[in-house]
Chains A and B, each alone.
Chain A
Amino acid sequence: MNASPPATASVRHAPHTPAPSSVASAYLQIRKVTKTFGKFVALADVSLDIEPGEFICFLGPSGCGKTTLLRVIAGLEEQNTGQVIQNGVDVSRLPPSRRDFGIVFQSYALFPNLTAAQNIAYGLENEKMSRQQVQQRVQELLDLVGLPDAGPKFPAQLSGGQQQRIALARALALAPGLLLLDEPLSALDAKVRTNLRTEITALHRRIGVTTIMVTHDQEEALSMADRIVVMDQGRIVQIGTPLEIYRNPQTPFVANFVGVMNFLSGEIVAAGQRVQAAGFDLHLPHALNGAATGTPVQVAIRPEDVRLLGISNGTGDTRMARLCDVEFLGAFYRVRLELPSPTADTPPTRMLADVGAEAARVMPLVSGAEVAVQVPAELVQVFPEGGSA
Chain B
Amino acid sequence: MSETSLTPPPAALSSEATAQLATQRVRQNITSEDWLARGLIALTGLWLIVTVALPLLQILWRSLTNSAGEFVGFENYITYFSTPALFNSFFNSLYIGLASMVISVVLGFGFAYAITRTAIAGKSIFMVIAMLPLYAPSLVHAIALIYLFGNQGLITKGFFGVLPGFDIGIYGPTGIIIGMVLFCFPQAVLILTVALSLADARLYEASTALRSSPFRTFTSVTLPSVRYGIISAAFVCFTLAFTDFGVPKVVGGSFNVLATDIYKQVIGQQNFVMGSTVSILLLLPTVLAFILDRIAQQRQVALLSARAVPLQPKPTRLLDLSMFIFCALICFMILATLGTAVLASTVNVWPYDMSLTMRHYDFSRVSGGGYPAYWNSVRMAFYTAIIGTVIVFISAYLVEKIKRLEWARSTIYFASMLPVALPGLVIGLAYIFFFNIPAFNFLGMRVPNPLNGLYGTMAILVIANIIHFYTVCFLTASTALKQMDAEFETVSASMGVPFYQTFWRVSVPVCLPAVLEIAMYFFVNAMVTVSAVIFLYPPALPLAAVAVVNMDDAGVTASAAAMSVLIMATSIGVRVLYGVATWSIRTRTQAWRKR
Contact = CB atoms under 8 A, between A and B. Distances in A.
Contact of A96 (B17, B488, B493, B592): B493
Contacts of B490: 74, 76, 96, 103, 105, 109
Given A233-B10, A256-B2, A95 B493 contact: yes
Interface in A75-98: 75-76, 78-82, 92-98
Nearest to A99: B494
B495 interface: yes
Which of A34, A114, A386 gathers most chain B CB within 10 Å? A34
B161 interface: no
A41 B13 contact: yes
Contacts of B17: 32, 34, 44-45, 81
A94 B28 CA distance: 5
Interface string B496-515: 11100100011001100000
Given A41-B10, A154-B591, A97 B487 contact: no
Which of B17, B497, B590 gathers most chain A CB within 10 Å? B17
B28 A80 contact: no
Contacts of B83: none
B533 to A, nearest CB: 38
A122 B495 contact: yes
Interface string B561-595: 00000000000000000000000000000111111
A387 B3 CA distance: 7
Contacts of B30: 95
B592 A388 contact: no
B185 to A, nearest CB: 37
Contacts of A383: 6
Nearest to B487: A109
A174 interface: yes
B25 interface: yes
B491 A253 contact: no
A186 interface: no
Nearest to B501: A126
B121 interface: no
B5 interface: yes
A310 B11 CA distance: 50
B24 interface: yes
B24 to A, nearest CB: 6
A109 B491 contact: yes
B24 A123 contact: no
Interface string A133-162: 000000000000000000000111100000
B40 interface: no
Given A96-B494, A113-B509, A237 B7 contact: yes
B1 interface: yes
B21 interface: yes
Which of B33, B495, B506 gathers most chain A CB within 10 Å? B495
Given A41-B13, A174-B495, A112 B7 contact: no
A6 interface: no
Nearest to A34: B17
B487 A80 contact: no
Contacts of B13: 34, 41, 44-45
Interface string B30-63: 1101100000000000000000000000000000
B124 interface: no
A123 B10 CA distance: 40
Interface in B373-421: none
B485 interface: yes
Interface string A31-43: 0101010000100
B6 A384 contact: yes
Contacts of A112: 510, 592-593
A101 B494 contact: yes
B2 A156 contact: no
Given A114-B506, A157-B595, A251 B6 contact: yes
A95 B31 contact: yes
A111 B2 contact: no
Contacts of A177: none
Contacts of A12: 496
B302 interface: no
Nearest to B484: A112
Nearest to B9: A233
B416 to A, nearest CB: 26
Interface in B234-281: none
Contact of B495 (A76, A126, A387): A126
B501 to A, nearest CB: 8
Interface in B140-175: none
Contacts of A45: 13-14, 17
A101 B3 CA distance: 35
Contacts of B497: 97, 122-123, 126
B592 A94 contact: no
Nearest to A182: B487
Contacts of A101: 494
Nearest to B491: A109
Contacts of B316: none
Which of A233, A251, A256, A384 gathers most chain B CB within 10 Å? A233
Contacts of A126: 495-497, 501
B7 A92 contact: no
Contacts of A208: none
B537 to A, nearest CB: 41
B1 A79 contact: no
A95 B1 contact: no
A360 B152 CA distance: 100
Contacts of A233: 7, 10-11
A232 B4 contact: yes
A340 interface: no
B20 A32 contact: yes
B301 interface: no
B5 A387 contact: yes
B26 interface: yes
Nearest to A112: B592
Interface string A218-257: 0000000000000011110100000000000001110010
Contact of B592 (A75, A154, A389): A154
A102 interface: yes
B355 interface: no
A286 B25 CA distance: 46
B104 to A, nearest CB: 38
Contacts of A253: 2, 4, 6-7
A388 B487 CA distance: 39
Given A41-B10, A112-B510, A122-B497, A105 B4 contact: no
B514 to A, nearest CB: 14
9 contacts: A79-B26, A81-B17, A97-B33, A97-B494, A111-B505, A114-B505, A115-B592, A156-B594, A253-B6
Top 9 closest pairs, chain A to chain B, by CB: A123-B495, A233-B10, A109-B487, A253-B4, A154-B592, A386-B5, A96-B493, A81-B20, A97-B493
Interface of A: 12, 32, 34, 36, 41, 44-45, 61, 74-76, 78-82, 92-99, 101-103, 105, 107, 109, 111-115, 122-123, 126, 154-157, 170-171, 173-174, 176, 232-235, 237, 251-253, 256, 383-384, 386-389
